Amino acid sequence: MTEVLEGKPLEVQIAITQPNLSSQSIIYENMDPGFSRSIMDRYASYGYTKQTVWIKLDIVNDSKDKEFIVNLGNSHIDRIEMSRKSQSKDQSQIGGDLLAFKDWPVKEYRIAFPIKMNEGERDTFFFRIDTTSTVNFYATIHTPEKFYQSFSSTKLLLGFFYGAISIMVLYNFIIYLMLWDRTYLYYSLAIFSNLLLQIYLNGMDYPYFLGNHPELRNRLSILIVGSSCVFGVQFARHYLQTKNSMSLMDRYMVMLRNTVLVAAPLIFYLAEIRHLIVSSNIVAQLFSISILAIIIRGMMSRNKDAKLYLLAWSLLLVGIVTWTLLEIGVVPYNFFTVYSNQLGSIIEASILSLALAERINTLKQEKQELQAAALVDLEEKVQERTSALNLSLDTIRKDIYMAKRIQEDSIPTKTIQYAHVKFSRLYEPMSIVGGDYFDIFQREKKKYRVFLADATGHGVQAALITMAIRSEYEGLKHKISNPNEILHELNEIFIKDYYSLHIIFSCVVADILISHDEIQFASAGHPDQLLAAGHTIKRLPRTGRIIGLSKDSKYTKSKFHYSVGDRLYLFSDGIVEQKNKEEQSYGEDRLIESLKFMHEYPLVDVPGKLHESLNLYRDRREQEDDLTFLAMERIEEQDD
């Protein structure tokens, strides 16, 4: 009989039966399938089996707590059914990775079950396990508080591991961008694939990614393992330069890579889950053995990089083997065995990252030796490399300036006059390209629509976002009549189609309806815009949240009177947030006063005068954001 004590190994009884033996027979008809006692001081493992594994747990609650959680320490068992002897069969609970995560009894990345017991109560619990993967578990029981505390600690440790690996991925990718050496690219992709594999094996993806699509999630394992194999092979080939020094091994590695590239998608689409899991393990084992073989062959060829690679790979294999031994119940359950896989991975990644960094130092040393031996020849080579680099920089510069021209061509000219509205603007990006976009067009004879968007960020990244905004807006601006509905559609599109990019932006849509002397206005998280009638200026507040924040965002529209001589001012936040040397913002109040002062100026002069005011205010301080200011004046009807 197991007492509920925190941290005490559970005493359980385990039996293995044919799948056709019912729960009714064992639990409610007292049939004994041959239970044997076991102390849960390590994983219980039964490998791949088509049979059903039963766990019998007799519990007496000697504590004052009444709620507990039984944790089986595994994320990848297909189906576990927990039944309680004191309750009827229809009160059983079911968990497992073939169920959607939302249907799990406990919403954590390990399969667990909540139970309630009064003080002094005794009861027997049965767990039926059916799975296509390996059967292993480590049963523990905690109060909910202790259970979630332990998971918080585990998540913190795993978060540290994921963060460290992510830093190495980014570090090596940046070096690749600096050197254009594909060794760094393949290594970055290899450890990124391994990171995805670790997240999958840990079950940390359940709450956040495809947890409610279990079939697809289980099938993804072969693609993740396959990508680890492909990029790992490519890294080994480039790092050890097998094409030059080990041509036979290189051909074998290319064959392995191509086989995985073809087989993994086929297995993903066609194989049963049981065969898919076995295939993933075969690919992983074949890859590990192949890498070890190529490293040993490299050492025999006196490849100077092979020794360090062997050290790193050996430590990773030690971690993998230790974790495997834990899974099959050979070694005890403790910190080092539980996290041996992660420890081995992070040590291996660190050693190889240092080795790749050392390669940079080696290149520097070789450069110095060449300079001492043949200075003139080196200068010629440096000149050649400099020319190539300048050519690359010129290409990048031309691309950026081409992007600038494309962006400028996509926005209206400085001054436009329609039959009823005159338009003038200021547009000055912070860098060569910017993150503001605006558009004005005549929808019908007496209807005009103005759109202004401000993407987060600056420079090329923000400019690319504006291209996406423009593309989506162009598809909506002619067919949707209400400005608030345009904002709603934009929010739906960017939440659904651009979710992984986390694009957010503020924007406004203003419809000028001449026949009604009216402006219909909608704003998604944009600063208050301004409407001037004489020297009176009214603020036009936002009518909804920033685009891309939430799929539940609601947008309304406001209506404002707009007669001849009135001016509508739309602008991005760069206008009001520009700071001076004292770190004070230009601000909306100062903008309103400036526009009141400029009301007597012709509309075409207002943007330029405002620009002068901003430059005088910042007093040689760097421009901090893109500046966009649109001025629209209602005029007497003119001939088009």
Could you report the per-residue pLDDT of 251-299, keeping only the tens digit for each?
888 888 888 888 888 888 877 766 666 676 677 677 777 777 777 777 6
Least confident of 49-58, 157-166, 338-347, 559-568: 338-347
Beta carbons within 10 angstroms of residue 334's beta carbon? 12
Nearest to 584 by CA among 617, 613, 549: 617
Q: Where residue 571 falls among pLDDT bands split at 50, 70, 90? A: very high
Q: Where residue 204 falls among pLDDT bands split at 50, 70, 90? A: confident
8 Å CB contact between 177 and 169: no
Residue 458 confidence (pLDDT) above 70: yes
Helix count (H) and strand count (E) of the chain?
16, 23
Cα–Cα distances in Å, from 138 out to 31, 125, 305, 404? 25, 16, 41, 60
Beta carbons within 10 angstroms of residue 506's beta carbon? 22
The reported pLDDT for the residue numbered 423 is 93
Cα–Cα distances in Å, from 313 out to 103, 329, 534? 40, 24, 76
The reported pLDDT for the residue numbered 274 is 66
pTM to 2 decimals?
Answer: 0.51
pLDDT in tens, 368-384: 766 666 666 766 776 77
More confident residue, 401 or 162: 162
Measured distance CA(492)–CA(472) in Å, rounded: 11
Residue 102, token pair as written in the block: 């939302």
Residue 49, token pair as written in the block: 């089996």
Give backbone dihedrals phi and psi of 630, rounded to 5 degrees, phi first. Answer: -115, 130
Q: Is 459 helix (H, G, I), strand (E, B) or coil?
A: helix
Placement of tokens 């009141």 in the chain: 596
Least confident of 11-25, 395-409, 578-592: 395-409
Placement of tokens 């926005």 in the chain: 411
Nearest to 431 by CA among 469, 398, 461: 461
Measured distance CA(211)–CA(97) in Å, rounded: 8
Residue 104 confidence (pLDDT) above 90: no
Return all residues near 49 (Cβ < 8 A) that are at least 6 apart: 16, 135
E-state strands within 525-626 = 529-533, 536-540, 558-561, 567-571
Measured distance CA(67)–CA(49) in Å, rounded: 33
Mean pLDDT of 478-485: 93
Number of C-alpha atoms within 13 angstroms, CB side, residue 464? 8
The reported pLDDT for the residue numbered 640 is 56
Q: Where residue 366 falls among pLDDT bands split at 50, 70, 90? A: low
The DSSP call for residue 2 is E
The reported pLDDT for the residue numbered 603 is 92
Measured distance CA(620)–CA(632) in Å, rounded: 29
The reported pLDDT for the residue numbered 367 is 66
Measured distance CA(292)–CA(286) in Å, rounded: 10
Determine what percent of the chain falls in helix, strand and coil, rounding each to the nearest 5.
50, 20, 30
Q: Are strands 112-116 and 67-71 parallel, antiparallel or unpaired?
A: antiparallel
CA 380 from chain center: how many Å? 45
Measured distance CA(127)–CA(105) in Å, rounded: 14
pLDDT in tens, 301-343: 676 666 667 677 677 777 766 766 665 556 666 667 667 777 7
CA 640 from chain center: how many Å? 51
8 Å CB contact between 455 and 599: no
Cα–Cα distances in Å, from 75 out to 131, 191, 201, 480? 11, 22, 8, 48
